[in-house]
A and B are shown apart, each in its own frame.
Chain A
């Protein structure tokens, strides 16, 4: 059952304001939306990264539900331990507060998920824990100063793939983590963005309802790392979807389904890229080929998704 904005806005805000996210951060917005849907009977784990750092600093916490941070690469394993302990304590009648059902949500940035935490995530998904893993994908290691990750797009300038006189940003395309998660044969996998709040809310709800592991990949424009006006983060989510860079779909028991049908005359990538400082060098003379390659890659990846969704 999808909630409308009115009911959703009446739910308790479980991420307190006053946390230390940057102005214009879309990540805290993602967390708040997830928690509005998940509700108070939820244990959250965060991987080391911006969202963990900005929501906790001893003796303060923004979390109104139980929250655990352990390390960078082990959030999925940590929450798998919490979820297992829940089952054990429930069976032995020793839960501190009896609950028939609880939600277990682990989140990490793209670095903590696509890269260093991939093994831990893969293991937890394969083991079938009743948990939701959320990757907030801001396409680089932002917390440590904007280094490239396996999710950084081709051509993007980062601190470790800088655009210089010889090199022009990241030299590889991003890996497709969502498909890797689908290959785990888990009951629910989806992509979304915080601009598409209804889509996000519906997906969180489905993910928490399935029996077994679920994975959500959520695009998170980063004003500092991408270099854009803090006011337009949500707009960049919208455009990323419309340009087919970040298609919205879900995979239920292996069946792909588009949850947003793009327009026939979809915008090209250029306008989206142009609003971000990390792609500025692509518009210099001599780099035209890179722009062509980005468009080719986006089209090709999108066509694959359309085929999988039975839309092509």
Chain B
């Protein structure tokens, strides 16, 4: 059945019935008719009237005897009721409403409807109020009465209800009649009909709601505004009553309840109109009063100043009662509150008594706290408005009037207070720890805070702007939010603050927050750090944020150190300590950041790691990863320092990064044997690595002798057969055999070109080498392996640890001399060196390419007996040097500077490492004054000694008084045998070497 009101069925019925209007009856007949109607018995024939005949009789009376009007309408109630009953009964029994006696009554109902609608049409003024009241009342009665029927849907399912009732002829007819009345009455007394509707709605709610909903959707504009106006009037009179000494009578239900109900129903489809209407009401109530405004009729509420004044409280009350309506308005209301409007509002509210104002304020606070959406906007508005105007900081809105500002200030404070109460009364009895109480009881939801949960980040950002009062409010709010939201929000907040703070003052806000929350929330800091780490992992933080976070964490840790230094660390530092331990747990998560592409980030990371405490336990995998990252970062830092210096920039940060890196490596190396070993290994490897070699003055030598690819060609990973074939000498490995193939160039093109290395500034190289050595030395000396040996003299640097030095040595050998054949420690006769020529040349080139190797050797030498493990390298180098000096035809050894230097360094190293007795070790002092052949003689003596007295670690004995291993040369064979060539050379050159003679005394 159609539920559409287009009036056409009504007209059809009217026309059909106006023709059949009975001819005027005589007085006698009318009298009979009345009797029949009253008794229900045909007065003439004496038989009982059926329902239909009775109804027809009633309709005739309605048409002819005005005095019967009331009685007829009352009788028709019964007819309608009967029809509804039958209708529902049919539905229940057959599920088919079209059969049975219901259809019999349907024509009667249509007849009645026709008559009524004709009357209404002819004389709306007289009939519309009458019929509307009757129809509404009857509808209410019918809806309530039949609400419990089996087929009747539950009153909450409005649509089904509407469908059911609109498919019933009786109720539909009533509805149409009412609509007609309403349409007629809207022109001249709209309040009356809406009043009736509201009254009935109150009486028969919720079964009557479908009527209101239907009417409302048929006349949305008018119904909404009228309902509001009615409610306002009622509210106003009630309000007046409440203030008087009279206590409100219980029997009088305020209409506001049904206003809320009706608007709530309409909100589903007409929320837009409702919102507009509510906002219009608000605006109109504020607009300057124009008592003689021609547009507004005298009945509208705008004309009455009293009603206007009540509008705002009324709207608040309305909003308080219906979340729907509130939701509809709240979002746009804030937009409306421009300064001009605020001034008007203030002017309006100034007239109200204090008590009422307080009530309103309380209501507003309640509403805000219950608002499910738009909370952030409201908050910003309040904060903006309440923030005092300032010359320095100008908010987004022009500064409002002072009174308005104070009002907002007060509102905001009340809001905070209210929220505070809500939050802390919420979990009564389970205050031990929200962490364990979350599941114990369902907690009351505070929509305002619920919504703000997703706005934590902007809130934090705003708080950190540290604007006057604003940050105090916001900080308080953040505290409440954290307590409310439990650990997740708290950690989020803390995390945000940690991420966004840019200076100590801002960072202090995080401590304040923690101080407030720590009492009621355990494990906050670790959770926050974990959260930060998670964010790092998911790459949700930008570079700047990431850097800021790391720096902030580092700052906390540093402050902890300072606190420790300053005073006995009490509860104050617990926060820092907690952060420290939390960070230490996640060290391996921060590790990769050392290698972050952004120098700033990696700098921040190294700063954090360098001051973070180390975890008590850690898995080897993590440690290795960390150490690798740390070492890689070290080289990166060195490179950056160099670049920064070259670019002439402020090198403070980069050199600080280097020092942090050094500190990190040192501390990390001291952590465990594993880390020590890993770090040393990687340091050495790194220093010798192709990419880093130039840092330490090295040149990338092409060991294979293949032509050097031009730098523009990108390294081709794909294997090319041509390329491999060009690398002559690598395709077939001849090492270890008697064959040695050297590639000196392509025939016709001359010797192959040496690499044009971009050499660094020597001073820089020196600096880098120093840094590297410092790191290695510190690592080696501070290692925990020699923890028992406290340095006897604090002035003296702690000795190099033997084990550490051995690590360096072994790594060094592995890198310099990958071929392990003939890798035994003891030396063969010098002649045998020719079997290892290729390897020896490789070793020499290594030393040529990496000057830092000598320094490393020196370190190793200092950590006796570690140098023994470098035996192969030493031997190889010495062998090439010997062959060089042998073949050299220069007049003086100084003509081959590198070889001279290498010889000197080699011998001095071996002396330091106690592979040579002091007599032999001193020979290098004479090298510079000798001819190449003489140098060779001396070096041969060295070789012979070492061959005779193998460089074996077991020859070293730990001497506890020195705190290091020492070799007792007296146990070895006679040294004098080896000293003879030295003396010969001395004799030969006594004129120049006289001053050195004492060095070679046995």
A, B bound:
no
